[in-house]
A and B are shown apart, each in its own frame.
Chain A
Amino acid sequence: MRYALSEIPVIKRVLHSRWLQWSLTALTLLFFVLAIIAGLVGTPAGNRNFGIVFVWIVWWALLILLLVPFAGRLWCGVCPIPAPGEWLQRRALVQPRPGGKLYTLGKKWPKAFRNIWLQNAGFLGVALFSTVILTTPMATALVLLGFMIVAVGTSLIFERRTFCRYLCPVGGFIGLYSQVAPIELRVKDTAVCASHTEKTCYTGSDEGYGCPWLVFPGGLTNNTYCGLCTECLKTCTRDNIAIFVRQPGADLLKTTGHKLDEAYKGLIMLACAFIYSTVLIGPWGVLKETARSVGTPGWFAYAGIFLALNLAILPGLFWLAVRSGQWIGQSVKTSIGKLFSDYAAVLVPLGLTAWVAFSLSFVLINFSYAWSVLSDPLGWGWNLFGTVGLKWTPYIPGLVPYLQVPVMLIGLTAAIALALRTARQHGQPAWSALPVAAFCAAATVGLLGLYLA
């Protein structure tokens, strides 16, 4: 049920070119630089500043509505944030060093943090201040600059793309949701890998570098940690790696390897979808004001509720659902911890569709700001392309609910199907999945209530 897209000659040639990743990254770096400059010295009015409009509306729309659902981690392959660090590490921009040699202290990331807990914490940190970051160009610029500085520092000390793999707050959820994408990078034949003693895809060769994401492609079973940089396509001497078109969400059908940090990532994303939908687009202006008033007693209360919802309340409710299912199914063979992580697969389609629905509500309404900002990116009175006079025009606002409802229902259907499948995997009767299915249904109804109210 999969088709090797990269075997099409023209696509294969492009994917094997060393210019592909560099040229796309140089382009995104250009936009990144403009976003930073606009944030630092441009107008403080967010809707007239490239940093706000192109990062939080255009890029976000591209990422959550198109790239992640349909192309997985493609963004990570061309992201400008780790690029300078990687170029310094390689002391090269395009061509590989002989043997794929890297110039870094090459420290290994501490074992205790070889998971996505730090990414979860980083995402929570950014999300907690998001009402400020998303609307304040200076804050956006400083956050982006901060990411890049940490990425460069990490590249100089640690091996490969340690930042992307273990630290990037954005990469964490992109990886989680990329499991839904209908494309994957995998080996064609694992037997070929087994007999390939050099493992150049991981160690590097004269053709390129070992996997920057610290992943052995021969063992890849899901998209979560593959950054789609296509380096392994170039370094595999057996031409045994390809990019496949596959059944969407195929990664979610796997039966092993679910981890608690990834389960929490799913819960945090769902909780944040709820909080954003309530605070950012809900009708309660006082909530938005409180969330923006950093340092006030009201904000501390908001922060407390935010963290409690993310780390205790929603995980607690999900745990209760899983525990109820365990009780209903009279299953004692599987520990509650494993059930919790396995059932958390339902949070991927549920959370992704929640974020798509949430994003539809503000992206379509606000996308038209992009045209005037394109001509006047810093709000300095330019009119580069003659579009500065184009007025703010919500796109198909009446259609938004009609898009949100089916999207959320697709997510709910997939989540319930996954819950049933998980129950079967653990030898439980189908109705033991009922509490988790009810959790998903309640989340969907709650979110739709917020969107449609």
Chain B
Amino acid sequence: MRRKPEIFALGVVLLVLVAFPAGIFGYQAFRTASASVKVVDIIARTPEHGGFSPDRLSLRAGEPVRLRLSSPDVVHGFTIPGLGVNVDEIYPGKVVEVDVTPDKPGRYAFACTRWCGVDHWRMRGVIEVTGEAGAVLPMEQPPLFQQLGIDIDAMRHAALVTPDVRPSSGAGAALQARLPQDLTDSDQRRTVTPADAFQNLRADPANAALSDGDVWDLVAWAWLKDTPPAALARAEVLYARDCAACHGPDGKGKGPAGVNLPGMAKMDPAMPKGPADFTDPARMLAANDVLLQGKLLRGGMGTGMPEFGSLYSDAEQSAMIAYLRAFLFKP
């Protein structure tokens, strides 16, 4: 009499303790096996609590993947610049799905695009896309500042010459025939500082008839001539997203997130504390584009300047540098 109910009850308890968990894992295994695309869950937390989880993914070129993005804390954004993925908002508790098929092997950085916390800029991850099984990822070429051996942390003198009025690229266009080869060629021009360019132009007897303002206009033209308006517009968007919080929308280095950053004072206490002022001609005209690109790519070691450049394409890096120049040079 006693046995049958006990056996039934034991059967139910075993179902709960053994069959039920087995069913959960079995169902998941079945879903995974029958799914048409690989599904990868990425949890986005504030960097202080771990950032992206996982922050490294290994995928195969040509393999479609569905990324399921979610946040347990605050609103985050998500971008994989190299794969053209941009998600503006991941609200807590909401799952955002993005389908992506990387077609070329390589390393693709992904990042949060919303200022989610003090260390937002640290919220990064990498997707490694391989080709054939066992294939080694292609070596990346080191950035130009490393190729040229430029120490981007070294202290630099302020520009010895600065313009009295804001130089105009448009006015400089009328004088473009006077540009020497090293300023016409973009690759060469990147290694020259605008201040040096001004002094070289000024020293050229052929420009003796030009006023200092004309020469500065010519310099402005040299630095902005390669950046079309659309690229500048894109850089404006990136600047608002990544830079304005510290450097301020007006580039004066007074953004709310930069208030407590050490800036270059970390290297030299005599330097002003906080983010760089892009409207300061003494500072900006003494820096060449390679140096600025280096800062973008690697960040300012110890200054609080994050490295955003690794999220930008080459064209976006160039556009961003031109945008920074445009705080001094009228486009």
| Cβ-defined contact, B12 with A26, below 8 A | yes
Distance between B322 CB and nearest chain A CB, rounded to angstroms? 39
- Asked if B95 is an interface residue, CB under 8 A from chain A, the answer is yes
Stretch at the interface among A6-14, A43-51, A239-247: A43-51
Number of chain A residues whose Cβ lies closer than 8 Å to a Cβ of chain B: 30
| Cβ-defined contact, A45 with B5, below 8 A | no
CB < 8 Å A-B pair total:
70
* Residue in B closest to A32 when the chains form the complex, CB atoms: B16
Given known contacts A45-B72, A95-B2, A22 and B9 CB-to-CB distance under 8 angstroms: yes
CA of A95 to CA of B3, assembled, Å: 9
| Cβ-defined contact, B70 with A45, below 8 A | yes
CA of A135 to CA of B72, assembled, Å: 9
| Cβ-defined contact, B71 with A45, below 8 A | yes
From B5, B41, B72, B94, residue with most partner A Cβ within 10 Å: B72
Given known contacts A30-B16, A46-B72, A378-B24, A95 and B94 CB-to-CB distance under 8 angstroms: no
Q: Which of B80-99 contact A (CB under 8 A)?
A: 92-95
Interface string of A25-54 (1 = CB under 8 A from B): 010011001100100000111111000000
From A22, A95, A391, residue with most partner B Cβ within 10 Å: A95
| Cβ-defined contact, B16 with A33, below 8 A | yes
Give the contact-size bracket for chain B.
20 to 34
| Cβ-defined contact, B28 with A48, below 8 A | no
Distance between B11 CB and nearest chain A CB, rounded to angstroms? 10
- Asked if A381 is an interface residue, CB under 8 A from chain B, the answer is yes
Chain B residues in 8 Å Cβ range of A289: 48
Interface string of B1-44 (1 = CB under 8 A from A): 01001100110110011001100100110010000000101010
- Asked if B68 is an interface residue, CB under 8 A from chain A, the answer is yes
| Cβ-defined contact, A95 with B6, below 8 A | yes
Chain B residues in 8 Å Cβ range of A37: 21, 24
Given known contacts A43-B41, A47-B92, A379 and B5 CB-to-CB distance under 8 angstroms: no
- Asked if A392 is an interface residue, CB under 8 A from chain B, the answer is yes
| Cβ-defined contact, A45 with B94, below 8 A | no
- Asked if A92 is an interface residue, CB under 8 A from chain B, the answer is yes
- Asked if B53 is an interface residue, CB under 8 A from chain A, the answer is yes
| Cβ-defined contact, B70 with A48, below 8 A | yes
- Candidates B17, B43, B48, B94; contact of A43 at CB < 8 Å: B43
- Candidates B12, B27, B43; contact of A45 at CB < 8 Å: B43
CA of A225 to CA of B70, assembled, Å: 44
| Cβ-defined contact, B6 with A93, below 8 A | yes
* Residue in B closest to A97 when the chains form the complex, CB atoms: B2
Chain A residues in 8 Å Cβ range of B53: 44
- Candidates B9, B27, B28, B70; contact of A93 at CB < 8 Å: B9
* Residue in B closest to A91 when the chains form the complex, CB atoms: B6
CA of A289 to CA of B119, assembled, Å: 14
- Asked if A382 is an interface residue, CB under 8 A from chain B, the answer is yes
Chain A residues in 8 Å Cβ range of B43: 43-45
| Cβ-defined contact, B28 with A380, below 8 A | yes
Chain A residues in 8 Å Cβ range of B16: 26, 29-30, 33
Distance between B99 CB and nearest chain A CB, rounded to angstroms? 13
CA of A19 to CA of B17, assembled, Å: 19
Chain A residues in 8 Å Cβ range of B70: 43, 45, 48, 379
* Residue in B closest to A372 when the chains form the complex, CB atoms: B93
Chain A residues in 8 Å Cβ range of B31: 380-382
| Cβ-defined contact, B93 with A92, below 8 A | no
- Asked if A369 is an interface residue, CB under 8 A from chain B, the answer is yes
| Cβ-defined contact, A33 with B20, below 8 A | yes
List the 4 closest pairs (A to B, CB-CB), nearest first: A45-B72, A93-B9, A47-B93, A94-B9
A92-B6, A369-B93 known; 6 new pairs, CB 8 Å cut-off, are: A26-B12, A34-B24, A37-B24, A44-B43, A44-B53, A95-B5
